[in-house]
């Protein structure tokens, strides 16, 4: 019998690849292998609804046990691949830490990313946590009842979401961000400013331009965080969310080109032309229409993992479907439901529409008269309109969008018809 496809990493990207393949009629054996001791589960709620006790463990699961059995997807838990032997035709054997061997005809990497660790005195104290997987989340949730003061280091999405959840759970939360504004890499200044005001008003002590000198002990566990100005912020628990590093070690060990992720083409094929890499571990050509030639990106989002897995599934079944989708993302932060469509890179002006006072508004990013992206706060209609326009290659004229009474959907146009479009 054929060995089939081995997918290393059984999270969003690996799961999406396996399910897409079966949906396309791929009939070879599929082994979906991961090193965690859980059935494949979804991560987004770990910092939000699940942490706050609003949803059950079971609702995190991607699929039922019966689904995996019926679709002949062999889900392997708790096996960490440490070495791969790969032949030129793409087949080979993967060896796990436990000594097990997994032979494959074809290999897919969906190994994701791991949290960037802080290198400071005190980071190994009990009570200093990271949040990437279910075990991290279980530990965080278990500690919350014994905790009053929480310091979150890092004002990116995960840090803010966790801070908002812990604040709602009645903890005293300080959020430290090294930059001059929140989520500086992913949203524009207007959205950062809104989030700052909102979370401060909700009771989170947000400190911008915060330098962290060390984690201070209290007895044999964490007691606080010392800032570079000498101030110590009390903490019974410190949650670190300062970004992630793609897991490229296995790919490098089999000679695949890596550069901030496993380098893949539009079809998710790595440099050997046969192994696929999908999700947070992959570095792909910027898929946004009109992106600068040669520009590459590595996304950290559910949408990207799903879409990239689809094109990888086509590649594995011998069909060429290029990844050319509009990236989108969501982040629920307490009362704020932020949805982002497109990439704002290269914008030269912005437009705020809606009611920012009431927290129902959108920030549209334009280059000339062409819309590139939108951050929509509690405004799903604007989000859908911009996302649909971008995915059809359409635009939304700036002047028309400036009228808050019009629906963006109703003013969507073909950009070639726009006077002054670039």
Ligand X SMILES: Cc1cc2nc3c(=O)[nH]c(=O)nc-3n(C[C@H](O)[C@H](O)[C@H](O)COP(=O)(O)OP(=O)(O)OC[C@H]3O[C@@H](n4cnc5c(N)ncnc54)[C@H](O)[C@@H]3O)c2cc1C
Tell the smallest beta-carbon distance from residue 35 to ligand X (Å): 4
Q: Stretches 146-154, 269-277, 298-306, 362-370: which one binds ligand X (CB under 6 A)?
A: 298-306
Q: Stretches 65-73, 214-222, 254-262, 294-302: which one binds ligand X (CB under 6 A)?
A: 294-302
Gap between the Cα atoms of 96 and 102, Å rounded: 8
> Which residues, in sequence order, are bridge partners of residue 338?
331, 377
Q: Name, in order, each residue with C-beta under 8 angstroms of 413's C-beta and a sequence gap of 6 or more.
A: 394, 395, 396, 397
129 binding ligand X? (CB under 6 A): no
Gap between the Cα atoms of 402 and 354, Å rounded: 9
Gap between the Cα atoms of 171 and 160, Å rounded: 14
67 binding ligand X? (CB under 6 A): no
250 binding ligand X? (CB under 6 A): yes
Tell the smallest beta-carbon distance from residue 177 to ligand X (Å): 17
Q: What is the SS3 assignment for 134? A: helix
> How open is the CA angle 381-373-339, to the nearest 5 degrees?
45
| Tally of CA atoms within 13 A in the half-sphere of 119 that contains its CB | 1
160 binding ligand X? (CB under 6 A): no
239 binding ligand X? (CB under 6 A): no
47 binding ligand X? (CB under 6 A): yes
8 Å CB contact between 378 and 360: yes
Tell the smallest beta-carbon distance from residue 133 to ligand X (Å): 6
Q: Stretches 64-72, 224-232, 297-305, 352-360: which one binds ligand X (CB under 6 A)?
A: 297-305
Within 309-328, which residues bind ligand X (CB under 6 A)? none
Q: Name, in order, each residue with C-beta under 8 angstroms of 381's C-beta and a sequence gap of 6 or more.
A: 407, 408, 409
Gap between the Cα atoms of 7 and 343, Å rounded: 29
**In 63-188, where does DSSP find H-type helix?**
65-70, 134-143, 157-168
334 binding ligand X? (CB under 6 A): no
301 binding ligand X? (CB under 6 A): yes
Within 178-217, which residues bind ligand X (CB under 6 A)? none
Q: Stretches 31-39, 148-156, 169-177, 216-224: which one binds ligand X (CB under 6 A)?
A: 31-39
81 binding ligand X? (CB under 6 A): yes
| Tally of CA atoms within 13 A in the half-sphere of 123 that contains its CB | 12
Among 9, 156, 224, 334, binds ligand X (CB under 6 A): 9
375 binding ligand X? (CB under 6 A): no
Tell the smallest beta-carbon distance from residue 289 to ligand X (Å): 21
Q: Stretches 104-112, 367-375, 384-392, 393-401: which one binds ligand X (CB under 6 A)?
A: 104-112
Tell the smallest beta-carbon distance from residue 23 to ligand X (Å): 18
34 binding ligand X? (CB under 6 A): yes
Nearer to ligand X, 47 or 362 (CB): 47
Gap between the Cα atoms of 213 and 232, Å rounded: 10
**In 263-392, where does DSSP find H-type helix?**
302-316, 380-391
Tell the smallest beta-carbon distance from residue 16 to ligand X (Å): 8
Tell the smallest beta-carbon distance from residue 364 to ligand X (Å): 20
Burial of 66 per CB tally in 10 Å (0-12, 13-18, 19+): exposed
| Tally of CA atoms within 13 A in the half-sphere of 226 that contains its CB | 12
> Which residues, in sequence order, are bridge partners of residue 367?
370
158 binding ligand X? (CB under 6 A): yes
Nearer to ligand X, 8 or 222 (CB): 8
Nearer to ligand X, 275 or 301 (CB): 301
Gap between the Cα atoms of 21 and 201, Å rounded: 47
Tell the smallest beta-carbon distance from residue 230 to ligand X (Å): 32
Nearer to ligand X, 158 or 371 (CB): 158
Where do contacts with ligand X occur on this chain (CB under 6 A)?
A: 8-9, 11-14, 33-36, 43-44, 46-47, 80-81, 110-113, 131-132, 158, 247, 250, 279-281, 300-303, 305, 329-331
């Amino acid at each position: 019998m054929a060995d089939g496809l081995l997918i290393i990493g059984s999270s969003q990207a690996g799961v999406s690849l396996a399910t897409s393949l079966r949906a396309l009629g791929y009939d070879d054996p599929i082994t979906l292998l991961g090193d965690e001791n859980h059935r494949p589960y979804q991560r987004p709620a770990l910092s939000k609804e699940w942490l706050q006790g609003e949803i059950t463990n079971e609702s995190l699961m991607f699929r039922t046990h019966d689904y995996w059995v019926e679709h002949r997807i062999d889900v392997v838990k708790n096996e960490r691949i440490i070495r791969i032997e790969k032949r030129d035709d793409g087949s080979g054997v993967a060896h796990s830490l436990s000594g097990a061997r997994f032979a494959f005809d074809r290999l897919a990497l969906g190994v994701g990313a791991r949290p960037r660790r802080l290198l400071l005195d005190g980071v190994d104290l009990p009570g200093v946590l990271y949040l990437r997987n279910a075990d991290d989340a279980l530990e965080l949730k278990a500690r919350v009842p014994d905790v009053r003061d929480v310091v979150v280091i890092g004002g990116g999405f995960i840090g803010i979401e966790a801070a908002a959840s812990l604040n709602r759970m009645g903890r005293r939360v300080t959020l430290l961000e090294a930059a001059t504004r929140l989520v500086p890499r992913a949203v524009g200044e207007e959205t950062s400013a809104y989030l700052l005001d909102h979370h401060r008003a909700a009771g989170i002590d947000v400190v911008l331009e915060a330098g962290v000198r060390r984690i201070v002990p209290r007895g044999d566990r964490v007691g606080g965080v010392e800032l570079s100005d000498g101030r110590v912020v009390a903490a019974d628990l410190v949650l670190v969310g300062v970004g992630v590093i793609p897991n490229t070690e296995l790919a490098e060990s089999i000679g695949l080109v890596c550069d901030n992720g496993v380098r893949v083409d539009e079809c998710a094929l790595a440099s050997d032309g046969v192994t696929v890499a999908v999700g947070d571990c992959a570095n792909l050509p910027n898929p946004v229409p009109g992106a600068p030639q040669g520009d590459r990106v590595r996304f950290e989002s559910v949408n990207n993992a799903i879409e990239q897995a689809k094109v990888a599934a086509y590649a594995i079944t011998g069909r060429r479907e290029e990844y050319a989708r509009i990236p989108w993302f969501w982040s629920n932060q307490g009362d704020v439901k932020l949805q982002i469509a497109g990439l704002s890179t290269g914008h030269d002006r912005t437009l705020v529409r809606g009611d920012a006072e009431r927290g129902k508004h959108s920030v549209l990013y334009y280059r000339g008269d062409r819309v590139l992206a939108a951050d929509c706060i509690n405004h799903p209609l604007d989000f859908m309109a911009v996302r649909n326009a971008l995915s059809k290659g359409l635009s939304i004229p700036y002047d028309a969008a400036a009228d808050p009474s019009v629906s963006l959907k109703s003013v969507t146009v073909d950009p070639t018809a726009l006077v002054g479009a670039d």
